[in-house]
Amino acid sequence: MSTVKLAIIYYSSTGTNYQLASWAAEAAKEAGAEVKILKVKETTPAEVIEGNEKWKRTVEKTKEIAEVALEDLEWADAFIFSTPTRYGNVPAQFQQFLDTTGGLWAEGKLANKVVSAMASAQNPHGGQEATILSLYTSMYHWGAIVAAPGYTDPVTVTAGGNPYGTSVTVDQEGKMQEDVEEAVKYQAKRTVSVAEWVKKGLE
């Protein structure tokens, strides 16, 4: 069977979801997947970013990472999305990218892709679960196959107990309040495993 191709697609203003994506990529590669880390295009005006030191540092740190394109969605067998929460939903930048996928969807090129998602917010009930579930709703329209971690491993509980996808709380200093690294890595490996099962079945 050919190698699973995984696109890890994130949006991150101050670095949290870039870190989650990096952990996921590390684990997915260990699981044998071919991995691309891709960022969602930033649409915030440059002067706004310049006024926020953490945001500015993140932009500089990730400048070499390619922006996600529709061709990447077509290439991948599976996706892991990582996004901050905006009022219980994905940021406008993320939604804007999703809104460009109609052509691929109409051609059936997003069906049977395996998908999983992660989220962050600044307080424990800041909308992380709602954001992941909202994202999964779009995936159902695609005909994608959601590979949530559920409670298939104890690491989900120790990381905070979100069965829909790993989520984390980030304080005002940008520090993660829960230890989620192992949960992220487990979720990535599970996503690759489910994608292998699907790919094998389709082949």
Instruction: Please name which of 85, 14, 36, 32 lies closest in space to residue 199, comparing C-alpha atoms.
Output: 32
What is the pLDDT, as a whole number, of residue 155?
96
Q: Residue 168 in 3-state DSSP?
A: strand
Residue 157 belongs to domain spanning: 5-202
Q: What's this model's pTM, rounded to 2 decimal places?
A: 0.95
Mean pLDDT, the chain cut into blocks of 10 residues (203 residues total): 93 95 98 98 91 89 96 98 96 96 97 98 93 97 97 96 96 89 98 96 83
Distance of CA 29 to the CA centre of its chain: 16
Asked if 97 and 128 count as a contact pair (C-beta separation under 8 A), the reply is: no
With residue 200 as reference, give the H or E element that holds it: helix 181-202
Q: Residue 18 in 3-state DSSP?
A: helix
Long-range contacts, 100-106 (Cβ 8 Å, 24+): 100/70, 101/70, 101/73, 101/142, 103/70, 104/70, 104/73, 104/74, 105/141, 105/142
CATH label of the domain that carries residue 97: 3.40.50.360
With residue 202 as reference, give the H or E element that holds it: helix 181-202
Asked if 167 and 130 count as a contact pair (C-beta separation under 8 A), the reply is: no
Number of helical (H) and strand (E) elements in the chain, helices listed first: 9, 6
Asked if 44 and 109 count as a contact pair (C-beta separation under 8 A), the reply is: no
Running DSSP on this structure, what letter comes out for residue 116? E
What is the pLDDT, as a whole number, of residue 173?
80
What is the pLDDT, as a whole number, of residue 172?
82
What is the pLDDT, as a whole number, of residue 202?
81
Paired tokens of 115: 């998908």
Q: In the chain, how many domains are there? A: 1
- Count the alpha carbons within 13 Å of 32 in the hemisphere toward its beta carbon: 10
What is the pLDDT, as a whole number, of residue 52?
87
